[in-house]
Every structure is written in structure tokens, then in C-alpha cells.
Amino acid sequence: MSDVFQDAVARLRNLGEEAGIRPEVVEALVQPKATLAASLPVRMDDGGTRYFPAFRCRYNDVLGPTKGGIRFHPGVSAAEVKALALWMTIKNACVDLPYGGGKGGVIVDPKKLSRMELERLSRAYMRAMADFVGPDTDIPAPDVYTNARIMGWMADEYEAIVRHKAPAVITGKPVGLGGSKGRGEATGRGAFHIVEKYADHRGLDRASTTVALQGFGNAGYHIARLMQQAGYRIVAVSDSKGGIYKKDGFDVDSLYKVKQESRVLKGVYCEGSVCELVEHDTITNAELLELDVDLLVPAALEDAITEENAGDIKAKAIVEVANGPTTLAAEGILAERDIDVLPDVLVNAGGVTVSYFEWVQNRQGYPWTLETVRARLKSQMEDAFDAVATARAEDTSTWRAAAYAVALRRIETGIEMSGTRDYFNSED
């Protein structure tokens, strides 16, 4: 597997050149501003101590304090964290948030920890990173295998260290601890708004549009639920263990109910508390990616669509809810085959957008209603889609190129305000 960070940098260089961005601006984004690595000592339930490698990257802060999630996953690496932080830099600029990009992670399988061990790990992470984060410096949030409760533990630990209340240090917290209403659904709901704009843009008939979804976690569930409510047909869903397929489509809420109760993805239909199996096919994740559907929604981890399987993709468009699910080499193949790829830096920006709303509410000391959050999220995502669609119509080759062009031009403007080579060499 290629180095995910080098892949991200290569894509940045290519798309920066296509958008006509100044080389010095691209060079400013090739390396992160600062990265901190730590080893977290955690007292385990058996009395022993284990050490977990941890990272936090503040990639670029030209447009504001850095912002990005923390993931707990055995596949975390320094390269992955840097790549994710770079994508966050582009994402925040793409949807016009006053943030730079950041990211963090711990190499751990959280499923193998007890609840108390998980709390100790979360607090240990914040103790290691307390001087590196802050409400005006770097604001973490949930990511893969972290959640509102973990963010609450981290915020509490930070406040114990600085000896004052600082709810704006972390977003994605429980609502009772300063979190925003609507944050849990935000990534999926934001992605749904992008799909709806794309459907209008392409003139898609919702009732005849089939959808395959790889990944049925929080974001995957919410976009699937909203798409089904809007009339799309969800014909395939998968999790890390495999997938299910039904030509006529599934009832998303029934699948989610049983998965939450049994931790197993089953083809079911529920009425109240009574659930019955429905006829369906069992498929692998690889088979799901190659289904003949209108929209393919990768909503799991990065590198799902690679050079090896891109030629077998039959979907008419790919909606990247996950971060980095399509490799650089794969994207070239998809472009040659005229398959639209709606990029992660646009599609999954709903989470960071509502995190921004939470940060604003914390700083104001004034919580918003759920209706306010949803309305402002819809407006922000639709405005971002319109900006990207305009850029694509004007002078870019793909949806990702257009999203990067929008983002990089905003970052370029910020850098120009501080002075560039042309400014310092000008006699005007």
C-alpha cells in the first residue's frame, strides 16, 4: 500500500497546478506546521501498564485555528494523521470555515479495552496534548471509534489541567456538557445535502436511483436514512464483516435497529419491536463496491477504491463519505471512465461544520436549537456545493479538482495578505 500522506501530497500538487495556484502556496501546504508524537501510559484493569503511540498534527493555520478529529484505531500512523490533517485543511477552506486543518490518533483497538481503560486512555491523550491544543489553537473532535463521551472525558481533563472551564477546546461533546444539538447526525446529514444538490444538478429521479453503501456506522446510517426518506433505493449495505444486497432495497431503520441490538448486520424488516428476516443476498465488501448501482457511497475507511478495483466499479457516481476512500491512481481510472467522484473534502464536511457551530455556541455561551443548526448546516453545504459546481463548470476537470480549486484559492488569498514573492519583488 502506498504512503497515504505522499499520495495526499501528490494529489495536492497535481490539483494545485491544475487550478493555477502559486507554487509557493502549494509548497506551504506540502509539510505540516507541527506534529506531536507521544507514548501514552495507561494503567490496565489487571494492574499492568501499557503504552499506546499517539499523534496530533496541526497542519496549517492560515485561515484560523486548526480543527480535526481524533481516531482510535489499530491502523493509525503518523503518515495517516498528516494526510488526514491535510485533507482537513482543504475541507475547512472548501466549505468556507474560519479554520485550518488538524488531526489526531492513537494506535489502539478500542474494542479490546474496558470502559475504564478507555477513559484512562482518553485522559492520557489529553494530558499529552494539552499544550498543543486549545480553543484558539487547535480544536479536536470525534473521528473513527471515538464519540461524544470520549470528547467529554478529554474536555474535562483539559479543564482540570488549565484550571478553568474551556468547553470550546473540543467539539462533538455530549449536549449536556456543551455539545451542539445535531452534531451526531451532522456528517451524514451534510453528505445528504450534497447528494440532493448533485441529484438536482444531474436531473436524477430519486425513486429510480439505486444506492450501495459501504460502512454502516454513524455517518453511513444517517445518510442512508435520509436518502431513503427522500425516495432513493438503498439496495446494499456493509460493515467491516461483510454486506447484504436486496434488489428492491432495504428499510434502513430496521437494519440499524437490529445491528445496534445484536452487533450483526442482517437483512430485516421491523414493525415496532417485531423484526423478520427478508430475502437477501450476502456479499463481501469487495463485491459491494462493484455492484451495478447509480450511487456508490464509501463510508468506512480510506483506500477502499484502488487501482486494482477501479476498473470494475459500475456505479455512475461515487459519494465519498469516508476520508480518502479513493486513491490517486484509482481516481485517474475513474475519470477516464466518466464516473463522477464527489470528494470527501466536500461531501463529509457536515461534521466539521456543526463542530464549528458548537465552537461558536461555546464561545458565545448561547446554545442553538436543533432547527437552527439544521438550517444553517443545509445553507452552508448548499453554498459549498454551488461554489464547487461553479468552479467545475469554469475550468476544472473533476469534482475533486473543483473542490481543491475553491479551497486553495481561499488559502492563497490568506497567504497573499501576508505577502508573496510577487509582492516583495514589486516596486508598486
Per DSSP, helices labelled H in 178-273 are: 186-202, 218-229, 252-262
With a CB cutoff of 8 Å and minimum separation 6, the contacts of 7 are 83, 327, 328
- Max distance between CA atoms of the chain, in angstroms, equals 78
Nearest to 290 by CA among 330, 343, 250, 231: 330
| CA gap 198, 291 in Å, rounded | 21
Residue 116 in grid coordinates: 475504564
Please state the length of the chain.
428
Residue 336 parent element (H or E): helix 328-336
Nearest to 192 by CA among 342, 340, 331: 342
| CA gap 215, 303 in Å, rounded | 13
**345 contacts 403 by C-beta, under 8 angstroms:** yes
| CA gap 358, 181 in Å, rounded | 8
Residue 247 bears catalytic tag: no
Of 103, 173, 197, 259, catalytic: 103
Query: Residue 287 class from Cβ within 10 Å (0-12 exposed, 13-18 middle, 19+ buried)?
Result: middle
| CA gap 133, 110 in Å, rounded | 23
C-alpha distance from residue 140 to each of 178, 201, 207 (Å): 14, 34, 39
| CA gap 90, 277 in Å, rounded | 43
Q: What are phi and psi of 31, to 5 degrees?
A: -125, 145
If you search the block for the grid coordinates 469516508, which residue do you land on?
A: 322
* CB hemisphere CA count around 103 (13 angstroms): 26
Please list the active-site residues.
103
